[in-house]
Amino acid sequence: MTEILNPRERFGLLVIDEKPDRCNIIPLITSHAATVAGIKLKEYYTDGEAMAKAQITAIEEYEHDAISIFSEVGIIAEAMGSEFNYPDDDLPVLRIPALTKFDIDKLKIPDPNKDSRLPVYLEAIEYAYSAVGDKIPILAYVPAPFTTGMMLSDPNQFLLDTIRNPEQIKKIIEISLEAAIEFSYEIINAGGLPILVDPLASGSVISPKAYQEFALPGEQGLIKFLHRYDFDVILHICGDTTPILDLLLLTGADLISLDKVELNLAIERLAPKMRIIGNFNTTKLGFGSPDGIASQVREMVKHGIKAEKGYIASTGCEVPIRAPTGNVKVFISAAKEAGWFLD
């Protein structure tokens, strides 16, 4: 079929509860864009123009429906004092958490225009927006306060302190929320749509009780801030979210990006109030056969487009950095084939 909308128009209809020509197709193509562009990962995550150009190259190669500005979840924590190693061909790795060097009272709210790699993201957003922003949504992934809090701390100690010292954890999350709000404000000014990512709040990492007590308030606070700008907000949580499906309804998010949860169950529980995004297994993109990928994507989309408030065909997590480009093309073409709204 012939497409009659550009990606920005298609996304715009989704968020005003109008049915577009087909479902939006937004696999989480983040650092994989460096592979498509043929550049080193270190260049991608330290050079905003390189990041933007890689994302534009990926859009031209795959013809999906959004640019995704992101590398890894430590970016805010790094700007607050955590130290990371920068491998040439891998993503930054936490080396020294800020709160192993100094006390919580010395944490600062970073300046997104000056501190660490936050300006890299803003430069990437501005470049992409000026190049293709009239036709393609520019999504910018913002680590949620719980995830940033863990990146400010020794991760194991952080999890232990949710039990032993919960008030300390809540204070870390409050400061991380302030930092996320400042970063989100500058993302909006640069032309991006902030997307909230909280992978370390997954049911694969913490219990539903811990999620409700520690992660949920930070998500709610950032989503409330973004709603002031009349944005429909996407929340992405990696891993198994089955145990917290009902709690996700309390976040205030308008769109929920899912990973390891049965899609029909998520549609049943969440679709009356949230638009559904997801949730193809990214391991299959890395190692599956093209025929198998195509068949499974078509089946996923066939169910997904039944979601009451709308659906975006996507991967459950980031497309693997070195996934075969042929497999990603198969994902997108199969989703396009199955995603038309015919009524």
The tens-digit pLDDT sequence of the chain (343 residues) is: 778 899 999 999 999 999 899 999 999 999 999 999 999 999 999 999 999 999 999 999 999 999 999 999 999 999 999 999 999 899 999 999 999 999 999 999 999 999 999 999 999 999 999 999 999 999 999 999 999 999 999 999 999 999 999 999 999 999 999 999 999 999 999 999 999 999 999 988 999 999 999 999 999 999 999 999 998 999 999 999 999 999 999 999 999 999 999 999 999 999 999 999 999 999 999 999 999 999 999 999 999 999 999 999 999 999 999 999 999 999 999 999 999 986 6
pLDDT, residue 250, reads 98
Counting other chains too, the contacts that 245-253 makes at CB distance below 8 Å and 24 or more residues apart are 245/269, 245/270, 247/208, 247/211, 247/212, 247/216, 248/274, 249/273, 249/274, 250/216, 250/220, 251/216, 251/219, 251/220, 251/223, 252/219, 252/220, 252/223, 252/224, 252/227, 253/196, 253/219, 253/223
User: What's residue 343's pLDDT?
Assistant: 60
What pLDDT shows up at residue 4? 87
Task: Quote the strand ranges of 158-285, DSSP E.
Answer: 193-197, 234-236, 255-257, 275-280
Secondary structure letter of residue 305 according to DSSP:
T
Point out which residues pair with 25 in neighbouring strands: 313
Domain ranges of the chain: 7-338
Are 120 and 46 a contacting pair, CB within 8 Å? yes
Q: What is the pLDDT of residue 32?
A: 97
In this prediction, residue 264 carries a pLDDT of: 95
CATH architecture assignment, domain 7-338? Alpha-Beta Barrel (3.20)
Q: CB–CB of 29/319 below 8 Å?
A: yes
